[in-house]
Structures are given as C-alpha cells and as structure tokens.
Structure 1
Amino acid sequence: MLVIAHTVTYAQRLREVFSLLEADLRVQVVFTAAPHAFGEGVSQYLRGLGIGTVPWEQARRTEFDLALAAGSRGVHEVRAPLVRLSHGAGHIKLLRNPGPLAPGEERPPGMMSRQHLMRDGRIVPAAVVYSHERDLETLARSCPEALAVAHVAGDPCYDRIVGSTPRREQYRRALGMAKGQRLVVVTSTWGPTSNFGRLEALLPQLLSELPSSEYRVAMLVHPNVWAGHGGWQVRSWLAACRGRGIAVVPPEADWQAPLIAADWVIGDHGSLTAYATLTEAPLLLTPGPRREISVQSPAAHLAAVAPVVSPLYPLREQLDYAAEHYRTGQYEQVASLLSSAPGQFHRRMRALLYRLLRLGEPAIAPEVAPVPLPPCLEEWEDTSLGEAR
C-alpha cells in the first residue's frame, strides 16, 4: 500500500489509518512525500516515526494494490485504487477557487467538489471516507457521482480524544502543571484570518495579562503556518514568548494532549477549536471569515454559540466570564457534528482497507491507543523557541 503524504497535517491524519496495518506480515506500506505548497517538514515528520520515503516520481510510476491520501494534488497519477479521507473536523473551509462552478451554484467545501474528486470526467478515488452522514447530503448536491464510492467511518480524532479524556490529570502532570496553575491553550489554523494571522491583537494580552505563576499558555499553530513561513520566521515572531510561560508546540507534536489538559481554549475557525468541544474546557473564539466557512460545519455552529474574545477588555476577566458561564455539555450539539459513528472509526476504516486489498481482516479488534503523554511545557519552550534567540 502506498501512503501519499502531502503535508504534515495530512501525514498526521493518515497515521491513524496506516497504523491499522501494523503487525500484518502480508502488507508492506510504502511512503512518499507528494509535492505541495505546504509540504515543508513532511519527510522530517515521517523520519521521526522511523519511516523512509520513496521519491514521488518513483511512487507514481510504480503499481500498488492500494493508495491512501488526504489530499488531491497529483493523486490521479497514482497506479492504484485510491482511498481519500478528510483531514480535519468536518469540512470547514469552502472551495477557494469557484471558477469551475456554474453561475449561482453553491460553493461546496473542497473535498466535496468535483474539482477535487473528478478528473477528465471520472471519479478518481475508489473510496472517499467521510466522518458524518450529513456529508453525504452535501456530496449529493455538489458531486453526486461520488456517492457510489463514499463511506462514512467517523472521525479518528473524535474517538481518541473522547477515549483519552479520563487521563486528563495525567496529561497535566506530564505537561508540568503545578498545583493551582491553569492552562490556556491557543489554537490557530492558517491564513490571514486565523489567530496566528491576527497575533498582533492577541499576543500582547497573553504576554502582559496572564502571570506565569498562575497561568501557563500553550500555542497550537497549524503546521501550514510553519511550512509556509519557515520555522525560523515563526520562532522569531514568537520569540517574545520565551521565559513568559508560553510554550509553542512544534508542528510535528501530538496536539491532542494539551487540548484535553486545557482549562480554557482560545480558538479560531480551525479544526482544533472544533475538537475542543469534546473536552471540558470553556471556549473563547476570535471572529472568523464567515463567507469562507461552510454554514453546515461544526465551526459555523460553534461560532453561533461560543463567547467571543475581544482586545478591548482584560483577557483575565474574559476567561473568568467564560468559565463562570460554562455548563457541562454546552457544546454537545457542535460535537455531534464531528462524527456520526462515535467510537467506530478504526473498525470501519480497517474493514474498508482490507476489503479493497482483498484480504481477510486480522482476527482481533483494532487497537485504539490513548493519546500519548506529552513532553513538559518547558521542553517545548526550549526546543521550539531556542533557535530564535
């Protein structure tokens, strides 16, 4: 089986899938880093897992029994039945290039569009995997030709976060949270309207209004930001965080443990903010680009119910307000949009892979390991910001 990793984000999502083939001596998994504008760091991420890659040119000339991808660029060239899956919390961002759409045609999310699913009048993937039954309704409007190969498997991050939430205190201890300290996690997608794109408004509040003796801050910045600007530039922009109790989580790190451990999440319209609805943390949102977000996405529904953070008021007071008004289960409706098959992703996904490989499944249930314990926040502060000094 060929695994096509376009970006670090895609590779992290694909890891949930190719790990389902571990210990099966009948299957060899081959990896390639396909060209992509945000492809910086993919090969390094895979090497960190002990994975070598073959060149893209070699991969697309070689025949495989199956291929796996979370992106669309160049995958029509692969000589294998292709499985495509989404890489985030629902389908948040609308198709950026609406050129091929007919006048008045609704702009769909990217992975729902003919532009991303078809080539020369035919459906490229042998299977397209979605997280929610509602996705099929959208697909029926935007690319009905793909319904024949669409499968609903649920969401791996949903299942792993929910399954790991009972370990919250272990994650907090591993992160080095002292008794009485509270953790604020800032999540950012990529683009000019993301939290990182508006950092000049949020960062001064984080630096000056949250004393490190009481608060720790962890910033989860989308890997596309690191790939697009380069690690040195990102670290330089965030160099003021050093020594101020603010850890910048590197792009290759597992983001789920800090999210579960958070006392608050300050998020934007990205996937991590939507996944935060599965945790016990009160949320504060920064305004998002409403015209670029699918109205059916978890992000759009969250924007309608979560409080909004403002640079005009003290951040500490806003955090207290969010905590005071938070109620358990407040975001259950939003969370329900992340998956219509809770706890079933790994079982459904493995069954699909083996069916396409024409192999019988192993006679044991797929293992869903909990989110691993993270490094201490100080370690992330030292390694992610040290080069900017």
Structure 2
Amino acid sequence: MNGDDGARGDADRHWATRLGKSVLVLAPHIVALARLDDLLPLLEADHRLQRVYAIPENGEDRPDAAELIRARGEVLLSATQAAQTTHGLILAGSNRGLDDVRGPVLLVPHGGGLGQYRSGEPITGLDPTQLMRAGRVRADRIVLTHGRELDLLAEVCPQAVPHAVVAGDIAFDRLVAGAPYRDQYRQALGVTDDREILVVTVTWSPRSGFGIDPHVFRHIVEAAPRDLQVVASLHPQIWSQHGTGQVLGWLSDAVEAGLGVLAPHSDWRGAVTAADYVLADYTSVGAFAAGLGTPVLRIPHDPQPLLPGSPTAVLADHTPLWNRERPLLPQLDAAGEAQSGELGAHIAGLLTSRPGQAGRILRKAMYDLLELGEPARAVPLSPAPLPRLIERPVIRAPRSRPRT
C-alpha cells in the first residue's frame, strides 16, 4: 500500500468506502496528542484524506492515550500496522517513533515552543541528538513558533534549518481566539456571578510546585477568600503517571475546601481565558496566561534550567513569587501590577512571531507535504473548547477559609 491507497493496508482496501491519502497522527503521549489536535481541524473535512492514529512502541505513556483515541471513535493502528504503510503525511508531536514509520513528517512542539528549557547542556527540542539520525534530519518540516527559534536552530543544528518553518503558535492563537467567549468559559467553571477565578497550574516532575509541596493546592484554597473560585489544572503527565484516583486522593483535602479540578486531559485554555489570576510554576501555561494579559503569580519550585529570553524565563524574571506566609490577595495585586505595563505584550511577542497566522501557515505546509492542492474552503481558527471540571463524588460542607 502507498500513501494514495487509504489507511490500513492492501488487505483492508476492499472494505473502504473512500480511498485517499492517510494522515498518521503519531502520539506517544497525551501531551503530544493534545497539541496535534490543534492541527486536525485544518484537514478533517477533506474527503481525499483519512486520518489514523498510532502510538510508538517506544512511547513512555500509560494506556490513557490509546484509551482517549478509541473513546473518540478514531482508527488506532498498532505500531506494526503503522510501520507497514507509507503514509501521505505523518503528524508528530514528539521525535519518538519517527524512525519506525514511512512518509513525510511534520514535527510540532508539544509545549510552549522548542528551545524553552535546557536538559543538562542540550537545548530541549532543538539538539542534533533529537533532530538527527544517521546523518539525516528526521522530519521533513520542523515547526517553530518564533524567528528566535530559527536563529537558535542555526546555532545548534544547522543541518535542520532548511527543514524549518516558522509558523507561530496555533495553541496560543486558539487561546486568543477564545477571549470573546470568556463569559461562557466562566459559566463552564460554575461561576455565573461576579466572583473572580484563580487558576492554579503546575507541571510534572519532582521539581515542580506540586512535586516539592503536595499540599500546595490546599494552602492556596485556604488562603483564598470565599469570593475567589480556585481551579486546579494539572499537567497531563501527573494524571498519566499516578492515575486519576490517586491524584484525586492527594487533592481530596483541597477539594473538600472548595477546589475545582479540571478533568484529566481536558483543555486548559478555556480555564485560563476565564481566569482573573493564574498561579503557575515553570509550566508553559503560565507564559500563555501572561501572553493573554492575565496576572501571573509564580509558585515556588526547585531549580529548573530555563533558556534566557524564552517566555517562561522572562515570566520568571518579571513576576512575583508566592509566599504562603503572607496574605494572598496583596500578592495577586502585585502580580496585577507587574502585568499592567508591557509585560503581557512582550511575552506574547516571544510566544509567536506570526500572531494569528499559524493555522494558515501550517495548513499550507501540510498540503505541500501531501502534494495536494489546498481546498478552496477556508478553515476559521476555532477557540478552545469549554473547560470541564471533575464532579465531586461526595458533597461535603466546605471548610472555612480565612478572609485575607
């Protein structure tokens, strides 16, 4: 079978109603899957294409990625099936598994752009050990969010520069597109009055805010006044590694005290759009929130090497650090003062150098790799979906919280 014949293989062709080029969504983990979800609306209405999914055998995720794909009613190929087909296009949110499949590859970052962090000396996402194999570049197109990343790529892996396309950040573009729907996002979080919303977001790893302080959510809820709704957004890897039941057990005290928790693997962007304030460790969600114009107060964490000049590093340099020994509200006010100048616009300019253009640029890049003409019908940039809260299984009277 080739990329013009369908999705699964010659043996299955006689079952097909439509024959066309296959688009393989290669998702080794939930985070990559979530980022690739932003690209699929640019292709999904094209009758010449059939999307299929696969999880690389060397993926490190738990079964939740496969479970989510199947729950959506998608076609999930085994790694062996995916390797037997030459696909019309491979969409990848990670380098994992690229050497095991055939077809032109579009590689996108699965966080706030490439070149955000250092892992030892290599620059995460742009290092030749990640982008190269046996003297060749592993992806046909490497999507960058900013021209600054292209300069960085030229320094650390010049062989990959001809494969790079500066597309901007479609995740940030969709966040911005949701701003007019803020009231709907607030209602989805259960806030229909004039209460303010504080979103608390943490990344994974023992260095993270949750990693160093398992009681961080309870401390924040107890410090918040009654008229401030606190909503937690946890990195997908936390749910994947430890399991929903265990994580909710760890959060039970905070939930009893009034914490709302975004459902595992649900989209965080609607909650950030609804938020009046955000507390964040070094997760890229904090930078996205700041770029949207939302005041950000930083959660203490163990040292994480950030690349100077990256959005997360700039955020860390210019926003206050939460001190749990001091009242919370004055610290949120200080975060608002830090945001009142040009900080938000500056961080937004670091997140993307093609604001509002990512969908158009990415669509062209994908159809170029498919060797197909773009459909005449334009695809509007859609806002992020409504946030979903976990329903509390047991209703208890909330613990009293001090007014600060």
TM-score scaled by length of structure 2: 0.86
Q: CA deviation at 1:216?
A: 1.1
2:43 to 21, 39, 46: 21
User: Which of the numbers 158, 164, 168 marks the counterpart of 2:178?
Assistant: 164
SS at match of 2:102: coil
Q: Is the 8 A contact 1:130 1:154 kept in 2?
A: yes
Write out per-residue CA displacement over residues 8-54 of structure 1, whole angstroms, 9 at most, x where no aligned residue. Answer: 11101001112211111111111112242234410122234332311
Q: Alignment partner of 2:68: what SS?
A: helix
> Does residue 1:148 correspond to 2:162, yes or no?
yes
The aligned residue for residue 392 of structure 2 is 382
Aligned partner of 1:173 among 187, 211, 234: 187
Residue of structure 1 in register with 2:123 after alignment:
109
Q: How does 1:340-355 map to 2 (within 5 A)?
A: 340-355=353-368
Q: Distance in 2 between matches of 1:13 and 1:235?
A: 25
The answer (yes or no) to whether the contact 2:197–2:229 under 8 Å persists in 1 is yes
**Pairwise CA distance, 1:62:** 2.0
| Aligned residues of 2:106 and 2:139 also touching (Cα < 8 A) | yes
Superposition deviation, residue 369 in structure 1: 1.4
Q: Match for 1:67 among 56, 79, 90?
A: 90
- Whether the 8 Å contact between 2:196 and 2:276 is mirrored in structure 1 is yes
Counterpart of 2:280, as a letter, is: G
Q: Which residue of 2 aligns with 1:303?
A: 316
Distance 2:49 2:24 in 1: 11
Q: Which amino acid aligns with 2:242?
A: H
Q: Please give the per-residue CA displacement for 1:280-326, whole angstroms capped at 9, x wherever unaligned.
A: 42110124555522113110011110111112212233224334564
Q: Are the counterparts in 2 of residues 248 and 384 from structure 1 also a CA contact under 8 Å? A: no
Give the equivalent residue in structure 2 for 1:12.
34
Are the structure 2 counterparts of residues 218 and 384 from structure 1 closer, same or farther at C-alpha, using a change threshold of 3 Å? farther
User: TM-score, normalised on structure 1?
Assistant: 0.90
- Whether the 8 Å CA contact 1:238–1:385 is kept in 2: the answer is no
Describe the SS at the equivalent of 1:2: strand
Query: Structure 1: which 5+ residue stretches go unaligned?
Result: 99-106
Residues 245, 204 of structure 1: alpha-carbon distance in 2 compared, 3 angstrom cutoff: closer
Counterpart of 1:102 in structure 2 is none
Partner of 1:263: 276
What stretches of structure 1 move > 6 A for 4+ residues in a row? 383-386
Structure 1 residue aligned with 2:370: 357
1:191 matched residue in structure 2: 205
* AA partner of residue 68 (structure 1): L
The 1:93/1:340 distance shift into structure 2, 3 A limit, reads: closer
Deviations 1:132-158 (A, max 9, x none): 011011111111100010111110111
Which has the larger displacement, 172-181 or 149-158? Answer: 172-181
Query: Residues 68-87 of structure 1 correspond to what in structure 2 (within 5 A)?
Result: 68-87=91-110
Show CA shifts across 1:315-341 (max 9, x none): 233224334564164321112110000
Equivalent position amino acid for 2:112 in 1: A
The 5 A counterparts of 1:120-159 are 120-159=134-173
SS class of match (2:343): coil
Report SS of the residue matched to 1:146.
Answer: helix
Distance in 2 separating the partners of 1:338 and 1:324 = 21
The superposition leaves residues 99-138 of structure 1 with CA deviations (integer Å, 9 ceiling, x where unpaired) of xxxxxxxx34221011111111211111111110110111
In structure 2, list runs of 5 or more residues that go unmatched: 1-22, 397-404
Residue 260 (structure 1) shift:
0.5
Percent of residue pairs identical: 36
Q: Which moved more, 1:359-368 or 1:200-209?
A: 200-209
Counterpart for residue 17 of structure 2:
none
Aligned to 2:340: 327
Give the match for residue 243 of structure 2.
Answer: 230
CA distance in 2, matches of 1:204, 1:92: 33
